[in-house]
Amino acid sequence: MAWRMPAETAKHERTWMAFPREGQTLGTTAAEREDGYAAWVSVAHAVAEFESLTMVVDPTELTRARRMLAANIDIIEAPYEEFWMRDVGPTFVLDEAGALGAVAWVFNGWGAHSWAAWQASSMLGRIIGEAAGAQIIASDLVNEGGGIHVDGEGTVLLTETVQLDPRRNPHADKAAVEAEMLRTLGATHAVWLPRGLTRDYQDFGTSGHVDIVATMPSPGTLLLHSQTDSRHPDHAVTAALRELLAKQTDAQGRAFRIVDLPAPATLHDTDGIVDWSYVNHVVVNDGVVACGFGEEAADARAREILAEAYPGRRVSTVDARSIFARGGGIHCITQQQPISGETA
């Protein structure tokens, strides 16, 4: 059976999220925890303005979730430790007849970090896939949804320090990873980034997820994170990535048109150098939910670039600083489910 992951711009049945639960990611103080709950709820409400949303909720958080979430948000109950839905949940695909599939990757806490707990979270791919009525596509590859981007026409973006991470897939090589991308996502051509952003290699990072670096808003076009301040280490990183990607082609043999998406001006937060990125937006039906960073001019410029990259969609901004402080962004906490029944 041939499976294909549609582009994020394809029509969605719904978006999936996971409600925060107490633990290291949420925070150690009451103020930190409340800040985390509020950030996730703000994203959920922003997405729900455009399309249906289902929130998976750990049994310990049901009362709070029901109190904080709008009535139009569906809730299902399941246990988990981590609530980065893009990474712990399934990747949805369609077969040639339009039937829904759910790729259940192996999740091991972004490379079995000493601080990570993932035993319950590792079951969410199957739990959510079954709840969505999808056929489960089991994979032996340790991978996360934030580590891939597709254009729906056969191209997949990957990062050498993610899929080839020895803590994730010690025996894998590029050929094996690409074969699995073909089997599960229908990807016929892989574009490999050598690395991701600087902060993503700290202890609480993902070691180079592509969804904070680059995405394909349409076939043949790349939106690329651009750090224009030479005082930030990602200035050199993004310049090198741009040079590399300018020499690449997509699955159809087209050279990429690269659109720079400049980073906000802030260089540091309380934990050091930031990885704030407007690339980490989520596309929804008729809209885009973008990360905001409290910089009016930079946030507005990002909205303009995104509106041009996604014509006909309304771009809204949600403050993502509290999400980034915990290790990710808006794309990282959401996962789209395409409409099934349409031929792939």
- What amino acid is encoded at 176 in this protein? A
Share of the chain above pLDDT 70, in %: 99
Please compute, for residue 113, the number of CA atoms within 13 A of its CA located in the half-sphere on the CB side.
Answer: 15
The residue written with tokens 């309380």 in the block is: 270
Give the residue-averaged pLDDT of 36-49.
98
Q: Above 70 in pLDDT, residue 69?
A: yes
291 is catalytic: no
Structure tokens at 135: 């056929």
Question: pLDDT for 292-321, tens place per residue?
Answer: 999 999 999 999 999 999 999 999 999 999
Q: Above 60 in pLDDT, residue 343?
A: no
Question: pLDDT for 93-105, tens place per residue?
Answer: 999 999 999 999 9
Assess if residue 288 is contained within a domain: yes
Assess if residue 284 is contained within a domain: yes
Assess if residue 206 is contained within a domain: yes
Share of the chain above pLDDT 90, in %: 96
- The pTM of the full predicted model, rounded to 2 decimals, is 0.97
Asked if 279 contacts 212 with a C-beta cutoff of 8 angstroms, the reply is yes
Instruction: Supply the range of the domain harboring residue 219.
Output: 3-338
Question: pLDDT for 222-272, tens place per residue?
Answer: 999 999 999 999 999 999 999 999 999 999 999 999 999 999 999 999 989
Q: How far apart are CA 41 and CA 56, in angstroms?
A: 12
Question: pLDDT for 154-172, tens place per residue?
Answer: 999 999 999 999 999 999 9
Assess if residue 343 is contained within a domain: no
Assess if residue 344 is contained within a domain: no
Reduced to 3 DSSP states, what percent helix, strand and coil does the chain have, rounded to the nearest 5? 30, 25, 40
- What amino acid is encoded at 247 in this protein? K
Classify residue 183 by its DSSP letter: H
Here the CATH number for the domain that contains residue 307 is 3.75.10.10
At 341 the pLDDT is 83
Domains in the chain: how many in total? Answer: 1
Pick the catalytic residue: 224, 284, 306, 332? Answer: 332
